[in-house]
Structure 1
Amino acid sequence: MRNLWLFPGQGGQNPDMLDQVNPQLKEQVEKWTKVKLLDTAEGHQDSVQIQLSILLLQIDQLKKLGWQPTLVAGHSLGIFAAAYAAGVINKEDVFKIVALRAKQMQECYPEDYGMGVVVGLSRPEVKKLVAQVHSENDSVFIFLIKIRKRRTRFLEQ
């Protein structure tokens, strides 16, 4: 049977989401990354904590299911779990790379920054929503990316 696994990025985290994760794997991740994973509301305010925890949960679930995907895809952080599921990166390296990525993201934007992907709405609908919430104090912008025949273009900012 053929199957596609899609791995999400940040956004679905919640306190206690690591309750059922293999404690030995969690300890190993903490050793590799030198990050103590706090599975609390406070811990999930930190980009490094969030990204490592989500990746840990995804990889732990892969092992528990014992399945092998035919195809993989991921959004943002999810690309790393997808790469691991496809067998193109080993467990230690995927956690070290995600830790580095998250630390650098956090250093660039330590507060008041976020991103999201909108699927299922037209460009005019998204523009209307952004216009409703954008203000001088709370800036919201649209970045539209269109992919065509191996070329990626940033169309709007």
Structure 2
Amino acid sequence: SGDPVVFGRGGEEALALAAAGIPCEIVPGVSSAVAAPALSGIPVTHRGLASAFVVVSGHAEEAYGPVLRSLAPGAATLVILMGIATRAATSAMLLARGWPADTPAAVLFSASRPDAFAWRGTLAGVASAPRSEAPGIIVIGATVALASQLQTAHEGGQRAAAR
């Protein structure tokens, strides 16, 4: 699921196939970086709140650190894939960079499944948010605050469609 060239191996596999003279086609998908927040009622951009979003792989500080250190506090919605294990270090880094402790944040698990779970709180609470065996996505920024309104509208639409 998702897009094969967004933190997937699609680019590497396409290069290997090209080197071997094997034609291939990359079929793009919707990245979980956008789909999971949307399914949880969180737009990654919203007029007046966030005109940009940044997606990072959170598996290792050397991978995401330079990007986060260059990002001004609140400049964009931050979406962190594969970052559950490093979330304490990530939130500490953002707080040290001047991000307000009360910046809205969410940790999303299994967003497209019936057992979906979303924790919503603040940047200061990300490190202590519940864990899951399922892959998680962390979303930090002002647009997270819209989730309660948009999730209610989404659920109402689902009920109306089921009638």
Q: Aligning the two structures, in what range does the TM-score lie when normalised by the shorter sequence?
A: under 0.3
Which structure shows the higher helix fraction?
1
TM-score in terms of structure 2 length: 0.27
